[in-house]
């Protein structure tokens, strides 16, 4: 069965230019919009302009992709409605500091598997992390499968969607939050890294790890020891391991 069709069936969605504009006007939380390439009618132009103004993620794709997703008259536009409300990262950090608590964040870089995404959120909520941060493009859609795998954590844990992750990292550093890259490209084990205080841990793609541009902004690095023959761990498992080492350090430092 086509993977794209499965993805569509696992998410709340609407189609048709007017219906999408009405959803935006009604204040619906939009996960992503797919627009057919080459369309230049006034409604499509208005929709694109509206999305740019509100920083709603959208992609222009071939008509064939939209046709694979639904056989109905989509009019060149399909919209995924998010089941969660995205939080302001600034508000999360301000709240944390106002409570006398060091911010404890996790940043996901190109985690595209919805079940991994949901599992990470579940572990974060259990470990007491403050927020999950991700770029508006390049990560898994937050849909039914992610919600189910998170066991309700995505209804509790703040999720912050940032348009430019590079600028977000710079902003976090300016606010006194250290950026920790969880990567095998270091000799420092997670047990030797300082994971106390205000931190944001970056977890990268299982294919090629953390993007180079984000690695350059990290304040320090930490790796999980691998003693077996398989060279890497599932990203949700890796996140759980480093989060609970951070929790151990943060608990002992109080």
Q: Which of 144, 138, 82 is nearest to 108 (CA)?
A: 138
Position of tokens 């790796």? 223
DSSP string, 11-61: SEEEESHHHHHHHHHTT--EEEEEEETT---HHHHHHHHHHHHHT--EEEE
Task: Write the pLDDT tens digit of every residue in 7-41.
Answer: 444 458 888 899 999 999 988 889 999 999 999 88
pLDDT at 2 > cutoff 70: no
Write the CATH number for 108. Answer: 3.40.1280.10
Check if the beta carbon of residue 77 is closer than 8 Å to that of residue 17.
yes
CA dist 22 → 31, 43, 58, 191 (Å): 15, 12, 16, 51
Helix (H) or strand (E) holding 78: strand 77-81
77 plus 94 within the same structural domain: no
**For residue 91, what is the DSSP state?**
H
Q: Whole-number mean pLDDT of the chain?
A: 91
Expressed as residue numbers, the domain containing 137 is: 89-252
Q: How many domains does the chain have?
A: 2
Residues 93 and 77 in one domain: no
Tell me: pLDDT of 69 over 60.
yes
Cα dihedral angle (104, 179, 193, 95), rounded to 10 degrees? -20
Give the residues across from 135 on adjacent strands.
Answer: 162
**Does position 138 have pLDDT exceeding 50, yes or no?**
yes
Which of 88-102, 136-150, 210-224 comes out lowest in average pLDDT? 136-150
Residues 127 and 206 in one domain: yes
Among 20, 55, 81, give the residue marking a domain's end: 81
pLDDT at 103 over 60: yes
Across the range 162-186, mean pLDDT stands at 96
| Residue 75 sits in the same domain as residue 130 | no
Which pTM value belongs to this model? 0.85
Give the distance, in angstroms, between the CA of residue 90 and the centroid of all CA atoms in the same chain.
16
| Confidence tier at 116 by pLDDT (50, 70, 90) | very high
Q: Are residues 95 and 136 in the same domain?
A: yes
Task: Give the per-residue pLDDT at 254.
Answer: 65
Residue 162 contacts residue 83 (beta carbons within 8 Å) = no
For residue 57, pLDDT beyond 70: yes
Task: Specify whether the backbone of 206 is left (phi greater than 0), alpha (psi in -120 to 50) or beta.
Answer: alpha
pLDDT given at position 11: 52
């Amino acid at each position: 069965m086509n993977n794209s069709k499965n993805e569509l069936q696992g998410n709340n969605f609407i189609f048709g230019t007017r219906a999408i504009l009405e959803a935006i006007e009604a204040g619906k939380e939009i996960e992503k919009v797919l627009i057919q390439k080459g369309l230049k009618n006034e409604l499509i132009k208005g929709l694109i302009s509206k999305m740019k103004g509100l920083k709603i993620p959208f992609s222009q794709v071939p008509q064939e992709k939209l046709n694979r997703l639904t056989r109905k008259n989509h009019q060149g536009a399909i919209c995924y409605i998010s089941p969660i409300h995205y939080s302001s990262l600034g508000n999360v950090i301000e709240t944390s500091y106002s409570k006398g608590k060091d911010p404890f964040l996790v940043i996901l870089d190109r985690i595209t598997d919805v079940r991994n995404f949901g599992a990470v959120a579940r572990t974060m909520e259990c470990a007491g992390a403050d927020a999950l941060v991700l770029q508006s493009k390049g990560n898994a859609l937050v849909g039914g499968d992610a919600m189910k795998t998170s066991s309700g954590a995505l209804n509790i844990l703040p999720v912050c969607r940032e348009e430019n992750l590079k600028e977000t990292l710079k902003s976090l550093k300016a606010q006194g939050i250290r950026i920790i890259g969880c990567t095998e490209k270091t000799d420092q084990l997670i047990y030797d890294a300082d994971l106390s205080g205000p931190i944001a841990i970056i977890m990268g793609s299982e294919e090629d790890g953390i993007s180079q541009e984000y690695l350059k902004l990290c304040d320090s690095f930490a790796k999980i020891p691998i003693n077996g023959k398989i060279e890497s761990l599932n990203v949700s498992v890796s996140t759980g391991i480093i989060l609970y080492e951070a929790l151990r350090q943060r608990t002992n430092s109080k």
